């Protein structure tokens, strides 16, 4: 057994497909954490944090980076560094910053969000251009100004859809012309890069700011990194402090992130393969409930009559899954699962699907 063997080989328990956030540090990662050099990060004196920030900024082709405790905080501080109070951020209707961050941008940041369906994938360029509002639209200075266009890559509620580089280039052209910032919620940017066979830098290049996660598919216990230009770094750090995110001896966490970036990016292809195999198995068992062609990364969407009831039945049978709507389940493969887990989970879920009504 290697230091990075799936945790399912080391711990007994249910097969957890709820999210890739449930992963736990591998033994190799724990060793790196134990050896980490530390200092006071708030004073800029933690060598491991500085190393993580410098490495991530270089990896993604940007000037600066700031380590933060979570992706939600990462999105907030990055967006608030570009969006003045009273301005708006345009995002997809199903974006994480709109759906899962508890209205923090409005409640804490004084910034509103406005949504555009299919922003990153299907919205026509003219729709996007028309959605962006300048200060003096029609001479009306009372109109809220668009400050940021935010894109999620991969798209979690879209089943792990990756946004290709050419679409990102188009969005960059639109935002540059309009004079607004392009931000990436790149919690799973690493999955998008592996699925597309491109370097992460290619997908990061079009953006002014990004928040990239270390604690999902990469398996670190905590943390995200905000990547930006040098001119925004101070604002990002100030907002991190306001939210209570300034850390002290955070090097033990940064060491986990560095280990993840060095050892766990390429292996994401295994998660993608397992998601595709799980989708194929369930599609065979219950045609019409799963579309294997939609599986691009590590997520599988399953349509059922009652997602809450189905999730409870699955849990009783030893498989944990999540619902993203009353009739849609989301299954997520990750570092802590192996081929045996996928086979067992697939068999259990297939049995339940065969008797589950297709509609409520």
CATH number at residue 102: 3.40.640.10
Residue 142: predicted pLDDT: 78
Chain segment 240-249, per-residue pLDDT in tens: 999 999 999 9
Q: Is the pLDDT of residue 10 over 50?
A: no
Residue 137: predicted pLDDT: 56
Whether the ω angle into residue 154 lies within 30 degrees of 0, i.e. cis, is yes
- Specify the pairing of strand 299-303 against strand 328-332: antiparallel
Last residue of a domain, one of 263, 282, 300: 263
Residues 154 and 239 in one domain: yes
How would residue 6 be classed by pLDDT, with cut points 50, 70 and 90? low
How would residue 21 be classed by pLDDT, with cut points 50, 70 and 90? very high
Q: Is the pLDDT of residue 250 over 80?
A: yes
Mean pLDDT of 194-205: 98
Residue 138: predicted pLDDT: 60
Last residue of a domain, one of 213, 238, 263: 263
Residues 288 and 230 in one domain: no
- N residues, the chain: 360
How would residue 4 be classed by pLDDT, with cut points 50, 70 and 90? low
Q: How many domains does the chain have?
A: 2
How would residue 328 be classed by pLDDT, with cut points 50, 70 and 90? very high
At 271, which CATH number?
3.90.1150.10
The token pair that represents 37 in the structure block: 């050099």
Mean pLDDT of 170-199: 97
**What distance separates the 2 farthest-apart alpha carbons in the chain?**
68
In a domain, 29, yes or no: no
Q: Is the pLDDT of residue 111 over 50?
A: yes
Q: Is the pLDDT of residue 115 over 60?
A: yes
Residue 226: predicted pLDDT: 98
HSE-up of 45 (CA within 13 Å, CB side)? Answer: 6
Residues 83 and 62 in one domain: yes
> Does an H or E element contain 331, and which?
strand 328-332
Chain segment 297-309, per-residue pLDDT in tens: 999 999 999 999 9
How would residue 78 be classed by pLDDT, with cut points 50, 70 and 90? very high
The token pair that represents 270 in the structure block: 């295994």
Residues 208 and 332 in one domain: no
Residues 129 and 162 in one domain: yes
Residues 182 and 328 in one domain: no
Contact 14, 341 (CB under 8 A): no
How would residue 27 be classed by pLDDT, with cut points 50, 70 and 90? very high
In a domain, 217, yes or no: yes
Q: DSSP class of residue 163?
A: P
- Residues of the chain with pLDDT > 70, as a percent, come to 94
The token pair that represents 279 in the structure block: 């989708």
In a domain, 95, yes or no: yes
Chain segment 135-155, per-residue pLDDT in tens: 665 666 678 999 999 999 999
Calpha distance 201→228 (Å, rounded): 13
For residue 207, count other CB atoms closer than 10 A to its CB: 28
Residue 1: predicted pLDDT: 33
Residue 38: predicted pLDDT: 97
Mean pLDDT of 198-207: 98
Which domain does 144 fall in, by range? 36-263
Q: Is the pLDDT of residue 14 over 80?
A: yes
How would residue 335 be classed by pLDDT, with cut points 50, 70 and 90? very high
The token pair that represents 259 in the structure block: 């280990």
Q: What is the pTM for the complete model shown?
A: 0.93
Last residue of a domain, one of 263, 282, 303: 263
């Amino acid at each position: 057994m290697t230091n990075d063997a799936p945790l399912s080989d080391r711990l007994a328990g249910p097969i957890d497909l709820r999210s890739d956030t449930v992963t736990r540090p591998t033994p190799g990662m724990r060793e790196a954490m134990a050896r980490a050099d530390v200092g006071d990060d708030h004073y800029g004196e933690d060598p491991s944090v500085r190393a993580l920030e410098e490495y991530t900024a270089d990896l993604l082709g940007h000037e600066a980076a700031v380590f933060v405790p979570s992706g939600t905080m990462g999105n907030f501080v990055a967006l608030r560094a570009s969006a003045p109070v009273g301005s708006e951020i345009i995002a997809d209707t199903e974006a994480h910053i709109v759906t899962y961050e508890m209205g923090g941008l409005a409640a804490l940041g004084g910034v509103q969000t406005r949504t555009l369906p299919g922003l990153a994938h299907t919205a026509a360029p003219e729709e996007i251009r028309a959605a962006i509002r300048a200060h003096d639209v029609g001479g009306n200075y009372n109109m809220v100004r668009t400050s940021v266009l935010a894109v999620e890559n991969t798209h979690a509620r879209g089943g792990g859809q990756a946004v290709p580089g050419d679409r990102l280039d188009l969005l960059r052209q639109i935002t540059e012309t309009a004079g607004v910032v392009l931000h990436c919620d790149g919690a799973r940017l690493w999955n998008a890069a592996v699925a597309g066979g491109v370097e992460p830098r290619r997908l990061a290049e079009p953006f002014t700011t990004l928040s990239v996660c270390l604690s999902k598919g990469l398996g670190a216990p905590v943390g995200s990194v905000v990547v930006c230009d040098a001119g925004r770094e101070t604002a990002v750090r100030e907002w991190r402090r306001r939210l209570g995110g300034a850390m002290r001896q955070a090097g033990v966490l940064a060491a986990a992130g560095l280990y993840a970036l060095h050892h766990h990016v390429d292996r994401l292809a295994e998660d993608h393969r397992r998601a595709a195999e799980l989708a194929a198995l369930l599609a065979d068992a219950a045609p019409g409930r799963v579309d294997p062609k939609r599986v691009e990364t590590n997520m599988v969407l399953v349509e059922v009559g009652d997602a809450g009831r189905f999730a409870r039945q699955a849990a009783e049978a030893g498989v944990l899954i999540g619902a993203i709507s009353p009739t849609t389940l989301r299954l997520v493969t990750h570092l802590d699962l192996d081929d045996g887990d996928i086979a067992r989970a697939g068999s259990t879920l297939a049995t339940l699907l065969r008797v589950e009504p297709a509609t409520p």
